[in-house]
Amino acid sequence: MAFKHDPPLIGIVGVCASGKSTLISELQRLGYCCRHIAQEHSYVQNMWQRLTNPDVLVYLSASYETTLARRNLNWTLHEYQVQLDRLNHARQNAHLLIDTDHLSALEVARTAIERIDKLIST
């Protein structure tokens, strides 16, 4: 895989409370170059490409119920579904999809690191 950035730039997208900030903190602590892409708040489907254009795009998913349990979000199922719609293009183009519903923050990080390292080394 050819990279545009050195070191490879890792973009993280997902719905609110999917674990983006937590994962980014851990990856950066370990020396990875990461960007939080707030695609869930943009109507521009390919904003993640326009602003960041990462070498590796990681999509974190979380169910509506999980987002409510993780954070005191005052949002409706409809608002959650709007975020999913806004993230659709990023999801379709993501190199890695990680469902965070039943994973601890440590398990999400381990999964991401394992998969990112495989992509980077090929």
Domains of the chain: 9-121 (3.40.50.300)
Per-residue tens of pLDDT for the chain, all 122 residues: 678 888 999 999 999 999 999 999 999 999 999 999 987 877 788 888 888 899 999 999 999 999 999 988 889 999 999 999 999 999 999 999 999 999 999 999 999 999 999 999 87
Strands 96-99 and 33-36 come out as: unpaired
State the DSSP H helix or E strand holding residue 61, giving kind and residue range, or none if neither: strand 56-61
Indicate the DSSP class of residue 41.
G
The alpha-helical segments, DSSP class H, found in 1-122 are 20-29, 47, 64-70, 77-93, 105-121
pTM: 0.94
Tokens 């987002």 sit at which residue? 67
> Do residues 4 and 110 touch, judged by C-beta distance below 8 A?
no
